Amino acid sequence: MDGILNINKPSGMTSHDAVQKVRRIMKEGRIGHTGTLDPLATGVLVLCVGKATRIARYLVTGEKEYRAVMRLGVITDTLDAAGRVLETRQYAPPGREDIERVMRRLTGVIMQRPPAFSAVKVSGVPSYKLARQGRAAELNPRPVTIHRIEMTAYADPLVSFTVRCSKGVYVRTLCADIGEALGMGAHLAALVRTRSGRFSLEQAVTLDQLEDIASAGRAHQAITPMEEALADLPAVLIGNEEASKVLHGNRVSCPTSLANGSSDVARIHDSAGRLLALARIVAGTLRPELVFACSS
């Protein structure tokens, strides 16, 4: 069985544990995720099943959306509620306008430092392992994009908000940065990922639901075909001669409209509409990166 599985991950479970459980349910060893969720977090965890593991890197780049709750005045070592409290500050509750002003300042392309308790590798070792050993390294900040932050509720010390952002954003760090800018510190109290690329929470299945339909022999109903999962990428139809080139890994010409578009990856289909490859758009050409099947 090949395709994409949209799981609603429960709180308290690591993404790795979720993958292991799905492997047992689906009786399929080739399963991988397209971006982890912290154990505290719930919501959309996109898994690639079978041959679809080959397209994982193309799904990672999609925008993410979250619902978050931030607690003001308490700073933890992991930047979330699962961590050890480092400091509790006394403060005068800020006004909504003050919080929204800081949120606006953190919107757009910003430099964000990943938390020490994260999977970012330091000399090949996940940073969280070093942090647990008391050898946390300060990670370099990197550019990320916050498209929108919207406060949805405020009852001190809790602030609820939604975020739409690029890949690579740590909402834990965003909370810590907001708290620092306000002067009282903060940490992430709760997090739900509501969207990852084209996959939404409304479409997700729980692990219990997956187990039920798999037991009934209907696991395929939860699978999104690879072509549908890649539908956000622009598509190019080519003839038989060019199809032969693509299937041998050779470049073909790229339509001008596509070369000047916003995507740097495209789907290549043959004249019968079959998906042949995913290609990188390079200097007016399509360079095959992932070839799927032979044309007949």
Could you give the residue numbers annotated as active site? 38
**Residue 280 · residue 265 · CB < 8 Å:** yes
212 Cβ partners below 8 Å, 6+ apart?
Answer: none
**Residue 268 · residue 238 · CB < 8 Å:** yes
Chain centroid, CA 173 distance in Å: 16
In SS3 terms, 3-28 reads as: EEEEEEECCCCCHHHHHHHHHHHHCC
**Residue 227 · residue 74 · CB < 8 Å:** no
**Residue 192 · residue 152 · CB < 8 Å:** no
**Residue 79 · residue 172 · CB < 8 Å:** yes
Name the nearest CA neighbour of 10 among 48, 34, 33, 41. Answer: 41
How far apart are the C-alpha atoms of 73 and 76, rounded to whole Å? 10
Dihedral of CA atoms 262, 267, 268, 273 in degrees, nearest 10, equals -120
